[in-house]
Structures are given as structure tokens and as C-alpha cells.
């Protein structure tokens, strides 16, 4: 625009050359000065913007990481925080002598796996993530407008820790691969979160009266070791205090449900806070059905085969009875070897005891059959001897009998009278008529055993399974 105005001015005024040149120089000088000032101003603004952006990026990348160190040095530095001192209660508004409430610690756990449940040792192994959360007002700090969400520590000795222990623990260990599986988070308002992964072997007293048709309740108990309830209280976290990993598989059990509860204990030194979670396990019956019940039934049925063998086949019947008896005894001893020696009778003891009785009864039945067979043979021999003796006596009597009978001989008349035997009429009995088909007692014993043993065993199964399968839940405790 300035140059266009200059040429327009030159066309309109036809002054002298010197005046025109002087005017042109002044206008060009003004044009260059204005352009240079605008360029410098724009350049200065760009430099300021770039400096501001650089400063902001530097603050975002470096400043707040350094602030974390400053905050940690400020709240945990020497002479500032003492991990031996218990934090005061909520807001320090207690009514005790030290004007403080007990420290409240919220607990929650995450069950990662349950590796085994040992019936013999009465224990179970579990891996879990254990978490505690409490408030320590000495650890409050400035979060710089939400930039510092929390501070992370891996050394638990830097802050005060609750003296919690697992009261029914047998063995336990931490996990240190690749790094120790533990962290501590300190939040701006003084809340502390402690999380650690541990593996524990815990005792689980079991009632095996209904084994293997039983349910067992195994507890996980956590209590304070030295702080009484006046100083330290454990509470389950609101909402979902116990979490279980999905698709939890156990070899011979199923986790039906779990319940959280409190188990405070009183001793002569005071009352101590305690938490517990009860895990209810149901034993899987299919394993025991295949490994114990069906084989025992088969052994009992095999022992009945001797009832169908000939009573004269002594080696076969003896070997069958002794083999099934020894096999059943071995099966029973193997079952008891995997269980603790308890003073009461278990459901499996009833089953194996009755099956062993049936097998032993089959062996005794053969002994009875063998005795009856020998008795029958002896009776037959006696009958033969009596028949032969009777025939021989009558033969002699016939030889010496006179050929002429005297009319007045009364003895002769009595001898000629026919013998009359009065037998009372017998009622028609189907069982007696059916048994009459088997003339010997040994054969009758075998036939009766073929019916009696399976019938009694079927009745036992009916009573056994109706008793243990259709029982009330309250009978298990």
C-alpha cells in the first residue's frame, strides 16, 4: 500500500527531480523501518512461546519425579518419622489417656490357588495376595494438584506395620522371584496400602465321620500378636473382602462357598483382634465311587460264585473264598492307610466292614456246606447199614419161621396183622415243595445262599445310601 501510494503521488505531482528523490527516500526508509519492526516482534513472540513450551515439558518430565524424592525425604527423613510409634486413631479424637483411638486396619485377601487338602495331616496349602490398609496422618503430603497419586515403597521397615500373624499356620514363605512380591503405597491423605504374595500351609481339623461323603470347613485365621483391641483393630474391608481366582480347580474337592467372620480372643494379657474366613469344601464322590465302592461290590459278587460251584470242587471254592477275602482285606488296609487313625467309625469303615463280612460269610458258607455234605454222606452210610442189617435180620427170621401155623397161637395172629401208621396230613408249602427238589442239606444251603446273600446285600445298600446321601446338613457337624 505504501509503495502504491508513492507511485500515485509521483504521477500526480510533477515537481522537480530533487524534491521527488528526497520524498522517495523518506517513504522507502519508513517502509523498511515498519517491516523490520514487525518481523522482530513476530520473532520475539515465537521465541517466548518456544521457551514456555520447553519449560512446561521439562516440568512434566523431570520435576514431579524429583518431587517424589523430595516428598519421601520430607515425610520419612531422619528425625521426621519413627516407624516404632503406632499411628493415632482417626483424627486423634480418642478418649484414652493419650487422646487416641485404636488404629483401624482394613484387610482383604485374594485367593490365587489351593494346591492340596491333606486328610492324613489335616492341613491344606493356599497361595494368596494379602492386603492391609490403614491411615497414618504423619504421612500426609502435597499431591501438587493431583500429579502425585501415590508414593511406592518396597521396604516395609520404613513405615509402621501392624503385627498381624496367621494363628493356624504351620509353614509359610514369601515370593522373591524375580523381585520381592511386595509393595507399599502411600496416598496424599496419609492412607497406607500394604500388599504381599505369600504361600501358607494351614491346619484344618476335620470331622471324618461321613468320609468320603463329607464336607469340610477349613479356616484362615489372622490376629494381632502384641497389640490389644485398645490399640489395634482389624476389620474386613467393605464390599468384597475375599476374592477367589476364577476357574479354581482342586483334585478331590470343590470350593462351595466361603464366609468371613471375627474371632477375637481374650487372654490374661488382654483382648486381641482376630479375623477369619471359613472355606467350605465338598469332597468329590466320583473318585471314591470308582476307586473304592465299585471294586468292593465286585469282590463281594465274585465271592458268591462259589455258591454255584459243585460242593465237591473243594480246591476251587476254597481258593476263590480265600482270594476274595485277602483282596478285600488289602483294599481295606489301603483305604485306612490314607486316613488318620481316629477313634470314631467313618462311613467308609461301615462299607468296607460289611463287604468284608459278606466275603468272609461266603467262605464260612462253604465250610458249612462241606460239613453238611460229610454229614449227608455219613447219614446215607448209616441208612445203608441199617437197611442191610434189617434185610439180614428179616432173612434169618424167614429162614426159621415154621411152615405150619397153629390156629390157637395168638403170637402168630399178631404177626400176621398189617402195620398201620397214622401220619397227619401235611399242608402244601411252596418253599418246602421247592426245597424237596434238593434232597441233601448241603445242596439246600447253597441254594438258600444264592438268594439270601444278594438280597441282604441289596438291603444293606438301600439303607447305607439312604442314610448317607439323604442326610440333613446339620448332621455333618
pLDDT tens digit sequence for 215-260: 999 999 999 999 999 999 999 999 889 999 988 888 889 999 999 9
- 180 in Cβ contact with 154 (< 8 Å): yes
Instruction: Identify which of 305, 303, 310 has the alpha carbon closest to the alpha carbon of residue 442.
Output: 310
- 472 in Cβ contact with 210 (< 8 Å): no
Its pTM surpasses 0.85: no
Torsion of CA 365, 367, 369, 372, to 10 degrees: -130
The answer to which of 12-26, 355-369, 370-384 has the lowest mean pLDDT is 12-26
Q: Kindly tell me if the per-residue pLDDT of 56 is higher than 50.
A: no
**How many angstroms separate the CA atoms of 216 and 258, rounded?**
12
pLDDT of residue 8: 44
Render the burial of 296-318: b for 16+ CB within 10 Å, e for the rest.
Answer: beebbebbbebbeeebeeeeebe
Chain-wide mean pLDDT for the chain?
80
Q: Which residue has the cell 484344618?
A: 204
**How many angstroms separate the CA atoms of 418 and 409, rounded?**
17
pLDDT of residue 154: 86
pLDDT of residue 460: 96
Q: Quick: pLDDT tens for 113-154.
A: 998 899 999 999 999 999 999 999 999 988 888 888 889 988
- 366 in Cβ contact with 318 (< 8 Å): yes
pLDDT of residue 401: 53
Q: How far is CA 334 from the centre of its chain?
A: 23
**Can you give the C-alpha Rg of the chain in angstroms?**
52
Q: Which residues sit opposite 107 in a β-bridge?
A: 132, 236
Phi first, then psi: give them for residue 431, nearest 5 degrees.
-65, -40
Those residues whose C-beta lies under 8 Å from the C-beta of residue 427, and which sit 6 or more positions away, are: none
Peptide bond just before 474 cis, omega within 30 deg: no
Half-sphere exposure of 43 (CA within 13 A, CB side): 6
The answer to which of 65-69, 352-356, 471-475 has the lowest mean pLDDT is 471-475
The answer to which of 275-284, 336-345, 405-414 has the lowest mean pLDDT is 405-414
Instruction: Identify which of 115, 167, 129 has the alpha carbon closest to the alpha carbon of residue 243.
Output: 129
Query: What is the SS3 assignment for 425?
Result: coil
Strands 103-118 and 242-244: parallel
Axis crossing angle, helix 2-12 with helix 17-58, rounded to the nearest 10: 170
Q: Which residue has the cell 504421612?
A: 139
**By percentage, how much of the chain surpasses pLDDT 70?**
71
**By percentage, how much of the chain surpasses pLDDT 90?**
48
pLDDT of residue 1: 42
Q: Quick: pLDDT tens for 262-296.
A: 999 999 999 999 999 999 999 999 999 999 999 99
Query: Confidence band (pLDDT; 50, 70, 90) for 163?
Result: very high
pLDDT of residue 54: 52
Grid coordinates given for 70: 523430595
Q: Which residues sit opposite 283 in a β-bridge?
A: 253
Amino acid at each position: 500500500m505504501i509503495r502504491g501510494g508513492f507511485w500515485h503521488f509521483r504521477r500526480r505531482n510533477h515537481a522537480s527531480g530533487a524534491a521527488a528523490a528526497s520524498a522517495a527516500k523518506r517513504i522507502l526508509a519508513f517502509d523498511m523501518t515498519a517491516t523490520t519492526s514487525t518481523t522482530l516482534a513476530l520473532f520475539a513472540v515465537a521465541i517466548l512461546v518456544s521457551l514456555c513450551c520447553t519449560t512446561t515439558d521439562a516440568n512434566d518430565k523431570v520435576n514431579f519425579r524429583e518431587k517424589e524424592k523430595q516428598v519421601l525425604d520430607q515425610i520419612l527423613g531422619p528425625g521426621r518419622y519413627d516407624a516404632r510409634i503406632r499411628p493415632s486413631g482417626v483424627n486423634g479424637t480418642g478418649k484414652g489417656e493419650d487422646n487416641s483411638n485404636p488404629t483401624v486396619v482394613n484387610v482383604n485377601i485374594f485367593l490365587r490357588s489351593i494346591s492340596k487338602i491333606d486328610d492324613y495331616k489335616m492341613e491344606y496349602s493356599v497361595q494368596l495376595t494379602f492386603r492391609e490398609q490403614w491411615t497414618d496422618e504423619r504421612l500426609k503430603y502435597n499431591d501438587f494438584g493431583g500429579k502425585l497419586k501415590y508414593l511406592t515403597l518396597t521396604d516395609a521397615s520404613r513405615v509402621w506395620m501392624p503385627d498381624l500373624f496367621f494363628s493356624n499356620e504351620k509353614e509359610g514363605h514369601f515370593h522373591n522371584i524375580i523381585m520381592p512380591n511386595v509393595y507399599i503405597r502411600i496416598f496424599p491423605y496419609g492412607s497406607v496400602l500394604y500388599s504381599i504374595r505369600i504361600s501358607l500351609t494351614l491346619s484344618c481339623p476335620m470331622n471324618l465321620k461321613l468320609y468320603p461323603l463329607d464336607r469340610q470347613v477349613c479356616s484362615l485365621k489372622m490376629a494381632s500378636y502384641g497389640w490389644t483391641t485398645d490399640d489395634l483393630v482389624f476389620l474386613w474391608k467393605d464390599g468384597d473382602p475375599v476374592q477367589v481366582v476364577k476357574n479354581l480347580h482342586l483334585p478331590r474337592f470343590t470350593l462351595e462357598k466361603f464366609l468371613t467372620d471375627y474371632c477375637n480372643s481374650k487372654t490374661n494379657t488382654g483382648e486381641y483382634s482376630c479375623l477369619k474366613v471359613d472355606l467350605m469344601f465338598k469332597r468329590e464322590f466320583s473318585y471314591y465311587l470308582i476307586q473304592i465302592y465299585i471294586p468292593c461290590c465286585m469282590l463281594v459278587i465274585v465271592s458268591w460264585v462259589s455258591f454255584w460251584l459243585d460242593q465237591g470242587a473243594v480246591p476251587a471254592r476254597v481258593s476263590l473264598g480265600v482270594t476274595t477275602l485277602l483282596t478285600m482285606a488289602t483294599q481295606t488296609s489301603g483305604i485306612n492307610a490314607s486316613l488318620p487313625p481316629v477313634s470314631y467309625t467313618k462311613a467308609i469303615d461301615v462299607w468296607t466292614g460289611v463287604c468284608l463280612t459278606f466275603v468272609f460269610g461266603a467262605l464260612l458258607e462253604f465250610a458249612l456246606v462241606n460239613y453238611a455234605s460229610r454229614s449227608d454222606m455219613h447219614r446215607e452210610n448209616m441208612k445203608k447199614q441199617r437197611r442191610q442189617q434189617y434185610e439180614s435180620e428179616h432173612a434169618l427170621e424167614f429162614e426159621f419161621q415154621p411152615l405150619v401155623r397153629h390156629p390157637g397161637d395168638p403170637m402168630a395172629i399178631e404177626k400176621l396183622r398189617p402195620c398201620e401208621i397214622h401220619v397227619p396230613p401235611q399242608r402244601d408249602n411252596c418253599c418246602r415243595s421247592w426245597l424237596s427238589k434238593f434232597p441233601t442239606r448241603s445242596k439246600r444251603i447253597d441254594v438258600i445262599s444264592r438268594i439270601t446273600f444278594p438280597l441282604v446285600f441289596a438291603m444293606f445298600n438301600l439303607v447305607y445310601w439312604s442314610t448317607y446321601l439323604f442326610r440333613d446338613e446339620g448332621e455333618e457337624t
